[in-house]
Amino acid sequence: MLQTIPSCDAQLFSAQAVAEARQRFFSGETAPQGIAAPILRSWTRCVAHGLPAGGRLPAEPLGAGELRQRREKAESLRRRCRPELEALHADAAVTGSLVILTDPTGLVLDTVGSADFADRAAKVALLPGVSWSESVLGTNAIGTALVERRPLEVRGGEHYAEAHGILSCAAAPILDPYGDVIGLLDLSGPAAVAHLHAMGLVQLAVSQVEHRLFEGAFPGLDVVRFHADASFLGTSREGILVFEDYRLVAANRPGLAQLGLGWDALKSRRYSDLFDGSLGRPGEDRRVRSTTGDTLHARVERQPARAPAPPSTPRAAPAAGPRPVAAPEPCFDAATEQALGRAVRLLEAGVPVLIQGETGSGKDIFSRQMHGRSSRAGRPFAAVNCAALPEGLIESELFGYEDGAFTGARRAGFKGLLREADGGILFLDEIGDMPLALQTRLLRVLQEREVTPLGGGKPVPVDFSLVCATHRDLKQLVDAGAFRADLYFRIAQYTVALPALRHLPDREALVHRFWRELAGGAPAPALSAACVEALARYSWPGNFRQFVGTLKVLHALADPGGSLGPEALPAELRDSALQQPQAGTRPSAPDEAPHAPGGACMGDDLQAVTRATIQAALAACNGNISMAARRLGIHRSTLHRHLAATPGHRKPS
């Protein structure tokens, strides 16, 4: 089970049901059917606040100076959420969505994702500097999730304000180890598109942020990590309880949930109230029994009371736990391998390299291969994603800052990635999304080879090789005035174009190779021929990132020694599989129509292909509709509709 945060237990309602519920609610019916309970509670609160449902609710963004102050105040939260913003950015870009980080009041701090949808969202004030508190803008995922203190989805007409009906949003509050809300992550997209995995992605991101909040945060205290399954120790799904002199003082949500506790247990429960026996020795893995009778795998650690070692001191290895399987790297064809060799030689000569390719096509891997094959391989590789990093953080991340440069700045200051790359390689991913003002500062650094940190200080000389990457057409951006021409000509002295996954030959061999590598040396579950064919035929708009992610999901779903068929594939891949001939059919010549199972001629008629595939599934299942639907990965009602449209088919009695 993926989720570790209690999710909204309301069922999903159709747009028509929601529209009818809205009409009944605003006609005076207090508890209309067809609407989720959290949404109904929110609508009721909005009426009590006197908010109008029609038209557009006022949303005044903060001024630039005030927004900067609010961002500086939340700098710690923004830095902790940076890995999740980068990870969700790739999903948001592919699905035409936005990733949003807010402070505890619902003020939007940062947004990253689809530029096209960002323009549409801005029309309803879904942009940095605007408060999406429920009391201000009515029912919405951000504000209502903060009020309910739980993950929540608000789709289309479930928004209180009619103008917000263009949005479909999933949000989850971020809780600190004491149960206080410190921020919120949200994934918002167009309501016309079904965002089936948005809630799961947001909850996973929030659970990872909350898990990291415990790192080094409790010096001198006893931290107990536990789970019923030992393989989850060390992951965001483990329970964490913190004890001071055997009294519970902090916890995470999975820990409280496993023991059936609420946040009121903090400072009111002792170790002996929760577990039988002694606390145990730090670093010891053992089994413990909770006072509810459950047997759990536990690990106790005592975080050092003294100040942590400086960053230059090697960190101790983490406690033993399950090691995630490393994802296979994209394969480079012969032409790309030749381009890689040339890029390394040019890099050695001090020539900047620009890598262009679609999202997920392996630009980061290509750049790291350049680093590993160059004479700077043993020196730093400093990477920053200019699109995934919120605009307010890009400048301080690149150029660093002095002590006291702004509110919330680290006491010792921060070197910045430009200085950290000294002697090595600076990799600027998605440089096409860098703000124009920072392009000017970057150009000055490239020309003068020295960095001046924010807050003053003397310029510091730097020596690094530059590699940039983008999925955008920089020439078009230059023509449109969105990218500086002088910076373009400086960074694009040699350009490598990486091919999309769908353009690579022999994709079935790729499927088999990646499937074996994901197994990490263990016996891999079998993939049926139809499943391999569907994976090879799919267009993969997210390229290798989407491809490897899908294979990881299949690995997680597979039973040991079992076999996976097309029914295990995500919906869009199942649809693709349904539209293709079954695996094992003889490839046809260019002027020959393929033949359906049983000899029916299909030609190029997609409907005929679909009918033949369905008939083959029915034949294999002896006419059992439910079994055939499962085999095809579709619902029984969908199969019945296809059969009803099939000439000569008789409905089963």
CATH of the domain at 158: 3.30.450.40
In this predicted model, what pLDDT tens digit does every residue of 254-311 receive, in sequence order? 999 999 999 999 999 999 999 988 887 887 888 999 988 899 999 999 877 654 444 4
475 and 361 share a domain? yes
Percentage of residues of the chain with pLDDT beyond 90: 29
Report if residue 231 sits inside a domain: yes
| Model pLDDT, residue 593 | 32
Over residues 301-330, the mean pLDDT reads: 50
Report if residue 258 sits inside a domain: yes
Which of 563, 514, 517 has the alpha carbon at shortest distance from 540? 514
48 and 176 share a domain? yes
pTM more than 0.95: no
Instruction: HSE, CB side, 13 Å, CA atoms: give it for residue 267.
Output: 4
27 and 167 share a domain? yes
For residue 310, what is the DSSP state? P
| Model pLDDT, residue 267 | 92
520 and 431 share a domain? no
Q: Which of 480, 497, 514 is the last residue of a domain?
A: 497
182: its two tokens: 């410190």
300: its two tokens: 């106790």
Neighbour-count burial of 249, counting CB atoms closer than 10 A to its CB (0-12 exposed, 13-18 middle, 19+ buried): middle
DSSP alpha helix (H) spans, 349-435: 363-373, 391-399, 417-420
Looking at 43-57, 483-497, 553-567, which range is the least confident one? 553-567
345 and 433 share a domain? yes
The pLDDT-based confidence of 9 (bands split at 50, 70, 90) is: very low
Q: Hey, what's the torsion of the CAs at 298, 299, 300, 303, to 10 degrees?
A: -140
Taking the C-alpha atoms of residue 464 and residue 596, their distance in angstroms, rounded to an integer, is: 60
Report if residue 406 sits inside a domain: yes
Which of 234, 337, 364, 223 has the alpha carbon at shortest distance from 280? 223
Q: Under a CB-based contact definition with an 8 Å cutoff, are residues 373 and 555 in contact?
A: no
Over residues 598-617, the mean pLDDT reads: 47
Domain housing 523: 503-644
- Maximum average pLDDT range among 450-459, 461-470, 513-522, 555-564: 461-470
Residue scoring higher pLDDT (108 or 459): 108
Q: Under a CB-based contact definition with an 8 Å cutoff, are residues 277 and 288 in contact?
A: yes
590: its two tokens: 């260019």
Residue 599 has pLDDT above 60, yes or no: no
482 and 407 share a domain? yes
Report if residue 316 sits inside a domain: no
116 and 193 share a domain? yes
Beta strands 563-564; 526-527: pairing state: parallel
Q: Under a CB-based contact definition with an 8 Å cutoff, are residues 198 and 97 in contact?
A: yes
244 and 353 share a domain? no
72: its two tokens: 């500086």
Q: Which of 139, 167, 199 is the last residue of a domain?
A: 199
Over residues 145-172, the mean pLDDT reads: 93
Q: Under a CB-based contact definition with an 8 Å cutoff, are residues 330 and 544 in contact?
A: yes
Q: How many domains does the chain have?
A: 4
555 and 441 share a domain? no
Report if residue 9 sits inside a domain: no
For residue 193, what is the DSSP state? S
| Model pLDDT, residue 235 | 86
Provide the strand spans (E) within 122-281: 152-155, 167-175, 181-190, 222-227, 239-244, 247-251
For residue 542, give the CATH number of its domain: 1.10.8.60
Residue 217 has pLDDT above 80, yes or no: yes
346 and 421 share a domain? yes
Report if residue 138 sits inside a domain: yes
| Model pLDDT, residue 321 | 39
Report if residue 4 sits inside a domain: no
In this predicted model, what pLDDT tens digit does every residue of 330-358 receive, in sequence order? 567 778 888 898 999 999 888 999 999 98
Coil, helix or strand at residue 595:
strand
264 and 373 share a domain? no
Residue 582 has pLDDT above 50, yes or no: no
Q: Under a CB-based contact definition with an 8 Å cutoff, are residues 198 and 187 in contact?
A: yes
Question: First CA to last CA across the chain, in angstroms?
Answer: 38
Residue scoring higher pLDDT (126 or 408): 126
Which of 158, 159, 173, 262 has the alpha carbon at shortest distance from 210? 173
Residue 488 has pLDDT above 90, yes or no: yes
Report if residue 207 sits inside a domain: no
| Model pLDDT, residue 252 | 96
477 and 508 share a domain? no
Q: Which of 249, 282, 302 is the last residue of a domain?
A: 302
